[in-house]
Structure 1
Amino acid sequence: ALRTYRTDAPTVGEENGKSQQEFESEFQDYCYVNLHQPVEIFGDLSPADDGKYPEYERLVGYIRDSGSEFLVTVPDATHLGGDLEAVARAFLSLENMGSKVSCQDDDMPDPLQNALVTLGAPGASRERSEKIRMSMQNRALRGKGLGRPPYGYRNGEDGTLEIVKDESPVVELIFRLYTRDRMGMRLIVQHLNERGITTRRGGNWNVVSIRDILKNTVYIGTYTRFGLRLPGSHEAIIPRDVFREAQDIVRERRPLGRVSRPEPYLLSGIAFCESCGNKMMGVTRRQLWRNKDGNRSRATYRYYQCQSRNNQSVCGYHTWREADLEGAVLAQIPLAIEMRALRKLAYRNGGDKSEQALKKIWEERVRNAERRFSQTLRKTASGALKTDQLERALAELDKARTLAEKSDQPVDVSDMLDKWGERDFDEKRDFLLTHVARVEVSDHMARIVA
């Protein structure tokens, strides 16, 4: 086993400091109790001028050069980094070299779980977190509602789910349209929205919300939480036979066999409907027909379509063929980048409004990547996701930051566009994300903000 520690770690300050001798003595005791062979200790007093910890860097080199796998122990996660991102990077780096990382904490040895407690929300403590978790589990055991109740129910005074009289008929209608009338989810969405039947928050329905209702066992009186399943814990809205029929239909309509994954769309996330402001989503249509000679033919068509139209049936058609929209965007890029450069020259002292808007868009992209990383870290720590997904989230965060920096740098646009057909998807996507902040799409025109 190897030990690394930092005397300037946040938790060391909470303990009024520890000497190097104390850290090393703790490691020897830990190895003796857990039957590990102590190999070497790498202790840092403070970072170097470049912000790196010399002894930790020596630890990494030691593992890499030895070609062996080690158990790397730390007093707690703060000895790997001062924030969640730094801990995750150090953890993944050591794990990728074949070593295992463990905190000297009998209650929470996993570094990611330990980091969420020691570096999580200000004021959060392990004891308080554990009490909250146990309290929630006990409520679940008694069939008490946790968090926001599903549509059709509310949390009663005693904590159990109670039917909302204004909402339960809508739940019944959704199941009736799906089972008796054999109406698809998109048609149900259209049916509800066209009649002004809104969600609890007064918004439009979408396919995801309909699917969630059709698959939720809460509507037959079964409460499910924390892996617990409690039938008859509250009053049902839907009979069990109707619910089972709905599940059968869901399975019938699920595609069988190998489902091909369509190629991703270049303008995903940056193309928006000018009418409603929602995103334009990529849609793939497949057609199969029989020719006069009896042979079968098939074709695949790719479009961009307003997400509101596709999921909520509340916006106009606003559909563009993939090649047409992407071609319209590419044609505008040279002039848009040139105009952007001219604006910078004209407004060197602070930039114009469009430049500030572009900066805000990039800041939001980075913030979104940071949020996705935090969510992935929590799910990985809980065991819901694997570490490779955490690694991907960090890579996406790095990419968002890099592209945000590159968006302000000069680029050989002509060369990129002249050889567009030779570029792979990632190169094209990076170029667009770097130099196109937003594409506003109407029926007959697409306008880019660069």
Structure 2
Amino acid sequence: MAVRAVGYFREGGGQADCASLADQNRRFLEFCRARAYEVAATFLDGAGAGGERPGFRQLLDYLRRRPENVVVVVDRLACLGRDPREVARSYFQIVSLGASVACLSDEDEDATAAIIAHWRARDKRDRLSERVRAAMRRKAVKGEVLGRPPYGYRAGLRHRLEVVPEEAAVVRYIFRMYTQEGLGIRLIARRLNEEGYRTRRGGNWSMVTIRDILRNRVYLGTYSRFGVRVPGSHQALIAPDDFRKAQDRMAARRTAGGPRTVSPFLLSGLLTCGACGHRMIGVTRRQTWTRRSDGASSSAQYRYYQCGSRTNQSVCAYHTRRAEQLDEEVRLATIAALERAVAGDGAEEDHGDDLPSPTRLRGQLRNVDRELDRLMEQAAAGRMSRERFQALSVELAQRRLALEEQLAAAEARSRARQARVERRERRQEALHQLRECWEELAFEDRQAVLREMLARVLVFDDRVEPVLRE
């Protein structure tokens, strides 16, 4: 039987930068041609996949279905995960499903030995990184500048922020235009550019740059970095009242909304003609006439729903219903449909109460990861042979795969249960509004209740059939 090759490509890589997706695919195909392997499938995870890795999940599902004589090809071992633990976990999960792993960058590399070496190097990197972070936090507590100083300041003596007079004047000008002159962010950027002001790099001002300056608490004299906030660490450029006015105005602009347009017909967008399946539309007709008795003018307005295909295409019979009567008929029919649905929701049984909860399964997964960490620490310290480490790690990978399947089922069951509870509560509240509060509800609230509950309403000449949302 020919060997089936499956490619797993990762954009951006994990611990080490993988080649581009195009290069990974090209090298994978060359690898298969050189060995006469059958190209069976490819899976990939983009740079934004993070911890979810849908491509890797699909790869595992593929291996569960067709594990015989399969080799998983990766650019390099480090592309299997973001850190040594994830690399090891991914590698042993693949092996536990009966497949082997081949690395394009180093075909002769012993994967198990490489995993142990990565873990050993990780301890050294972690200790160094923690020392660097601790030193930077100590500097931040002292108010010392870390990184590029914000516009309006420079790093001065003892690495503290010092005012740059020319830039500070621009910062104050920006706040004055925003809080006192009432200019918007776009107009502020335009005025600065028209008046010849330039950013620190000599470029034009943009809305993003202006907005960042208006939001930055550094201009109050507060230095923030690495979760450390040091008030009064340097000279402020903006008074607290002016800064607060700027924040209040930006918050008001984010929450302000335009006028709401409401359709004058309660059932707009919900009605479907039962005869032809097209939408029904609301129609208003105004009629004016002159009375013969006294010559006075009179007028009346008629509101009704009509099949849209009749109005626009003349392809349906004249199916029309008076708006007020149909509105009430739909309300009563919706009440009846909701009463049946609520009774059905209460009758549904949940047969999964004896199964492990998602919380318990996540705890078991964490225990498996801790056990894998312990195995790698022992192997890295030379207290366990490579062969025993691999055998025990494969067993752990099998346990983890089983737990992941149980967790996926438990989470789906939990989501379904919660959805049923929430759906029942929404329907009960809608019933209360339709039966007992309808007359007191504003038009917008009535329409919102119906649209939340109904997917559509089939309208026939002699009846209506509401279709509830799930």
- Is the TM value for this pair above 0.5? no
Coarse TM-score class (shorter-chain normalised)? 0.3 to 0.5
TM-score (norm. length: structure 1): 0.33
Larger Rg: 2
TM-score (norm. length: structure 2): 0.32
